[in-house]
Amino acid sequence: MDGERLRNNYRSQLERLRAAERAAGREVGSVTFLPVTKSVQPATALALAAAGAPALAENRAPGLEQKVEAAGPSATIEWHFIGSIQRNKARRILQRARVLHSVDSLRLLETLERIACEEDLTAEAYLEVRVGREAQKHGILPEELDPVLRAARERSQRIRLRGIMVMGPLDRGRTREVFEEAQELAVQLPLRAPGLFLKDRCRLSMGMSGDLELAVACGTDLVRVGSALFEGVEEEAA
């Protein structure tokens, strides 16, 4: 595995984010850079953590388990889960990830809260909101959020909401429209549900390698970057 290339890619993508912050007139360092390691082996993911990444993201339960085990109990990595959460795998995920980006229904939120109580765990979460209203994607429609917010205020003690997660649309021509709607929604939600979100601010998990700059300009608090980090990095056979 080409560790130097990996470190250079990490620094390059991090500087790309900082440049986007400056271009948008935002405070440098205000947007969290979250590397997505779903496509690489554990050794590569851990090398990325050694290069300075304090948090890593996975999108499948087996991959998360494999990498958490490889990191060992003394690792200080904050693990995020960004993939669809099947309720029959929710316990495995919650036992390992401290931040969940894809809570896409009230039923799932209730399942996670129950498991967290049973396992004596806490976690932070983003509600996955289908702002683009694409049928192919998971998520809660914006107009269906209020019942979820009310239930979360009444029942969620161990799963605390950070904010909302939004995916860019398949039609790239609509990306700005979707991101701007998500930005407005993030402003509105703490007013509709006071005290629900951490520090009473709805954070945005929005933007990936292909639309990072636009996401920063539209107010995202976190970007998820994967493939660009591993370009030219050859891994050893598993």
Check whether 26 has a pLDDT greater than 60.
yes
For 59-200, strand residue ranges (E) read 78-81, 99-103, 123-128, 159-166
Q: Region of 221 please: left (phi>0), alpha (psi -120 to 50) or beta.
A: alpha
- Where residue 238 falls among pLDDT bands split at 50, 70, 90? low
Over residues 210-232, mean pLDDT: 95
| CATH architecture designation of domain 3-230 | Alpha-Beta Barrel (3.20)
Mean pLDDT for the chain overall: 95
pTM (predicted TM-score):
0.95
pLDDT for 237: 58
Domain spans of the chain, in order of start: 3-230
pLDDT of 159-173, one tens digit each?
A: 999 999 999 998 999
